[in-house]
Structures are given as C-alpha cells and as structure tokens.
Amino acid sequence: MLAQELSAYDGREDVIVLALPRGGVPVAFEVARAIHAPLDVFVVRKLGVPGHEELAMGAIASGGILVTEPNVIEDLAIPPDVVADVAAREEQERLRREREYRGDRPEVDVLGRTVILVDDGLATGSTMRAAVAALRKLRPASIVVAVPVAAPSACAELAPEVDDIVCTRTPEPFYSVGRWYGEFSQTTDEEVRELLARAEREATHPRR
C-alpha cells in the first residue's frame, strides 16, 4: 500500500530509497523493489527514556545532529546529564551499525537526488526529524518521508520539514507503531545485511 502511494517516483533515475535501520529496512526493501529504486540505509539512533526505552526523548544522526523532545524531557524531569549519557552511548551504537551494514561501501551520495526516507512508523517522529536534519546537510534535491503508519500529530508536525510525506495510516488513538503490525518481531543485523545484499543483487540482475 505504501509503495502504491509512491508510484509517482517509480522508475525515476534520480530517486533513492534510504531505510532507517533496523525496523525500516524490511519496509524500505519492498518499497524500493516496487518502485525500481536503489536501496541503502541512513543510520539514526533513537534516544530512549531510561527504563522506558520505547519512549523517545530524542534522536541522533550523523554530522552531530541531535533532536530532542522537550515535552517528554520536561514531563519526566529527565536531567541534561542523563540525556547526554544516553546520546553518547547511542552514538557509539550508530557508528557500530554504520560499519556493520555498510562494510567497505562508501556513504551514499544523495547530492541533487530525490531521497525517500522510509521507516516502519512514526510515534513521536524524533528519529525521522534527526534523519531529515542530517540529510539536508548532504544537499539532496528533495526529501520524501514514507511510512506505513504514524501518529497523526507526528505526521502533521513533520510535513512542513520535508518536500513530500506519505503516512498510509494515521490511526487515533495511536499508542505505538507495533500495535498496528500483525507481526512486529525485532529486525536483526543479519536481516538488514541480507536485505541490502538482495537489493544490490536485484539491481545488478533485474527480475524478468
């Protein structure tokens, strides 16, 4: 359904699909395959609230990008040093994942291209906002955010920051991304590597 809503980008040579790992990779793989676009990853790390890691208090991305959720931080009275500690730890994990998924491949060149950023969903939207802010520094022609499901508020708040946004479903009340999936098991590093390799093989040897 998400790929159908992105059909205007099908077959365009300037388009690239970037997944936010890990959960966004299986979604982005199917989108990229459907619209005949190359697939890569853009590694961003959510800053989870200690003890409630699924709740985002911010996110980090390459280039020193830090996005915070002031309402979450204030409501839970999270001290600045706690935010800094979590950010430092997640930056190490972000770098590890870059090495794990990219290997010897250079970072993707998005200059002048249309980038479709895909994740499995938007709850607060902080992870996607960090990705968008980092990506802007790389000067793509346009940024499109595409997710199967999103909190209505997250979709609405993110829309002015990008050139196009597709949120296939925006249920209310939202609760969480996983609630709207029939199967929402943790995506592994191995699955990410396998899907990236499959996408590369299919790009080299297109299906007939």
User: Would you say residue 23 lies in a domain?
Assistant: yes
User: Would you say residue 188 lies in a domain?
Assistant: yes
DSSP per-residue letters across 132-186: HHHHHTT--SEEEEEEEEB-HHHHHHHGGGSSEEEEEE--SS---SGGG-S--PP
User: Would you say residue 174 lies in a domain?
Assistant: yes
User: Would you say residue 184 lies in a domain?
Assistant: yes
Predicted local distance difference test score (pLDDT) of residue 205: 65
Which CATH number is 45's domain given? 3.40.50.2020
| Local structure of 14: helix, strand or coil | coil
Predicted local distance difference test score (pLDDT) of residue 35: 96
- Asked if pLDDT for residue 76 goes beyond 80, the answer is yes
How far apart, in whole angstroms, are the C-alpha atoms of residue 54 and residue 46?
Answer: 9
CB 45 within 8 Å of CB 144 = no
User: Would you say residue 208 lies in a domain?
Assistant: no
Predicted local distance difference test score (pLDDT) of residue 105: 82
CB 117 within 8 Å of CB 132 = yes
User: Would you say residue 73 lies in a domain?
Assistant: yes
Instruction: Kindly tell me the sign of the dihedral angle through the C-alpha atoms of 151, 154, 191, 15.
Output: positive
Give the chain's mean pLDDT.
92
Number of domains in the chain: 1
How far apart, in whole angstroms, are the C-alpha atoms of residue 120 and residue 154?
Answer: 13
Listed ranges 46-60, 91-105, 111-125; the one with the highest mean pLDDT: 111-125
- Asked if pLDDT for residue 32 goes beyond 80, the answer is yes
Average of pLDDT values for 25-50? Answer: 94
Q: How confident is the model at residue 208 (pLDDT cuts 50, 70, 90)?
A: very low
- Asked if pLDDT for residue 207 goes beyond 70, the answer is no
Average of pLDDT values for 103-121? Answer: 91
User: Would you say residue 99 lies in a domain?
Assistant: yes
Note the pLDDT tens digit of each residue in 117-153.
999 999 989 889 989 988 988 899 999 999 999 999 9
List of residues 6+ apart from 93 with CB closer than 8 A:
45
| Local structure of 33: helix, strand or coil | helix
Predicted local distance difference test score (pLDDT) of residue 61: 86
- Asked if pLDDT for residue 4 goes beyond 70, the answer is yes
Domain containing 158 equals 2-203
The DSSP 8-state label assigned to residue 55 in this structure reads: E
List of residues 6+ apart from 176 with CB closer than 8 A:
54, 123
User: Would you say residue 199 lies in a domain?
Assistant: yes
* pTM of the predicted protein model: 0.88
- Asked if pLDDT for residue 167 goes beyond 80, the answer is yes
